[in-house]
C-alpha cells in the first residue's frame, strides 16, 4: 500500500483529510465519508447518509390522522409505535 499523505489525530480523535485527498475523492464541505477496515488498513470512501423513518407509510397515515385530532401525546417513538399497533 502506498501512502499518499499523512495527518495527525487531535485530542478529540479528529483527523483533517488532506486537501490533495479531498480533491482526488471530490469531497466537498458537509459531505459524508464512510470508513471500512481491511487487512491492509482503513479505507475511506465518499458516501451519502440518508435518514430512515422509524414509521411505515401506513403508520404515518395513522399518525397524521391522530395529529389532526386533539388527544394523546407520546414521549418516545416506541410508545407511539406500540399505540399504533394497538389501533
How many C-beta atoms surround the C-beta of residue 80 within 10 A? Answer: 19
> What average pLDDT does range 1-11 have in this prediction?
89
Q: Which residue segments constitute the domains of the chain, with CATH numbers given?
A: 15-50 (2.10.260), 57-86 (no CATH)
pTM over 0.75, yes/no = no
C-alpha cell at 2: 502506498
- What pLDDT, on a 0 to 100 scale, did the predictor assign at position 7? 94
DSSP, residue by residue, the chain: ----------TTS--PPPHHHHHHHT--TT-EEEEEE-SS-EEEEEE---PPPSS-HHHHHHHHHHHHSS----SSHHHHHHHHHH-
Residue 67 pLDDT more than 80?
A: no
Whether 66 contacts 72, CB under 8 Å: yes
Amino acid at each position: 500500500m502506498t501512502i499518499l499523505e499523512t495527518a495527525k489525530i487531535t485530542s478529540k480523535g479528529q483527523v483533517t483529510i488532506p486537501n490533495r485527498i479531498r480533491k482526488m475523492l471530490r469531497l466537498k464541505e458537509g459531505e459524508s465519508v464512510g470508513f471500512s477496515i481491511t487487512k491492509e488498513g482503513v479505507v475511506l470512501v465518499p458516501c451519502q447518509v440518508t435518514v430512515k423513518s422509524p414509521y411505515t407509510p401506513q403508520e404515518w397515515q395513522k399518525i397524521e390522522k391522530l395529529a389532526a385530532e386533539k388527544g394523546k401525546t407520546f414521549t418516545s417513538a416506541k410508545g407511539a409505535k406500540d399505540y399504533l399497533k394497538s389501533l
